[in-house]
Amino acid sequence: MIVLFDMFGVIARDQSPEVMATMSTAPEFWDAYWAHRPAYDRGDVTASEYWALVGHPPLVEKDVASWNRVDYEMVALLHELHNAGRRIALLSNIPEDHARNFERTYAWLDLFELRAFSCRIGHAKPDRAAFEWCRHALGDDDILFVDDRLENVRAAELAGMRGHHFTGIDGLRALLGAAKDG
């Protein structure tokens, strides 16, 4: 079984409220930020185009910093899985600027046999095509997808994968232990 991980909300923490507050406190900013984010995550628009759509001068460095916190207990689990010979992969909705920053900053990304960044595969979760792209690239149908967003877990299941709604490391450890023993 391949364990296909989401990054944000699973391995990396959700967006930093402290950094977000330095970007803007205006609701209309955040409405535009999220409304145009899927196209940015898929790589359909560049950072400059995205920030123009948001209607704000580019805040690329602050935006990257707002998503840059990591859960090192989860990183330790990735190392455990990799060292035990488990196949692990990554599917993340992430724009190119963020992907490059993570690749420069975090060597643990090399543990994944596949890094399917939405900006590079042209598909973002919960689009079925993102999951199908991963299945094809991994060459296997026995995939467990782990995400903190239930809509993404359900989409993976509809695409024929097993899903795990991540609410913490303990539940994931229990599931992976049962899968190994069973």
* Residue 121 located in a structural domain: yes
Q: Crossing angle, helix 150-158 and helix 128-138, to 10 degrees? A: 60
Token output for 65: 């910093």
132 has a pLDDT exceeding 70: yes
Shared domain check, 133 and 53: no
Q: How confident is the model at residue 97 (pLDDT cuts 50, 70, 90)?
A: very high
Boundaries of domain holding 27: 17-67
Question: What's the average model confidence in pLDDT over 147-173?
Answer: 97
Same domain, 55 and 7: no
CB-CB contact of 151 with 132 (8 Å)? no
Enumerate the H helices of the chain as residue ranges. 17-23, 27-35, 37-42, 47-54, 60-66, 72-83, 96-105, 118-121, 128-138, 150-158, 169-181
User: 97 and 80, same structural domain?
Assistant: yes
Do 63 and 102 fall within a single domain?
no
In a domain, 162, yes or no: yes
Q: Is residue 102 in some structural domain?
A: yes
Q: Are residues 105 and 85 both part of a single domain?
A: yes
**pLDDT number for residue 180:** 63
Residue 29 and residue 112 in one domain: no
Mapped onto helix, strand or coil, the DSSP state of residue 104 is: helix
Instruction: Answer yes or no: do 73 and 62 share one domain.
Output: no
Looking at the structure, tell me whether residues 112 and 154 fall in a common domain.
yes
pLDDT of residue 140: 87
The model's pTM: 0.94
- At which of 51, 67, 83 does a domain end? 67
Give the pLDDT band (50/70/90) at residue 181: low
Q: Are residues 48 and 25 in the same domain?
A: yes
Q: How many domains does the chain divide into?
A: 2
Instruction: Give the mean pLDDT of 80-89.
Output: 97
* 142 inside domain: yes
Q: Is 182 inside any structural domain? A: no
CATH code: domain of residue 152: 3.40.50.1000
Distance CA 58, CA 84 (A): 43
Residue type, 31: D
Residues 115 and 101 placed together within one structural domain of the fold:
yes
**Edge-to-edge, what's the strand order for the sheet holding 2-5?**
114-117, 87-92, 2-5, 143-147, 162-165
- In this prediction, what percent of the chain has a pLDDT beyond 90? 95
Tokens found for residue 34: 């999220």
Report whether 50 contacts 95 (CB < 8 A).
yes
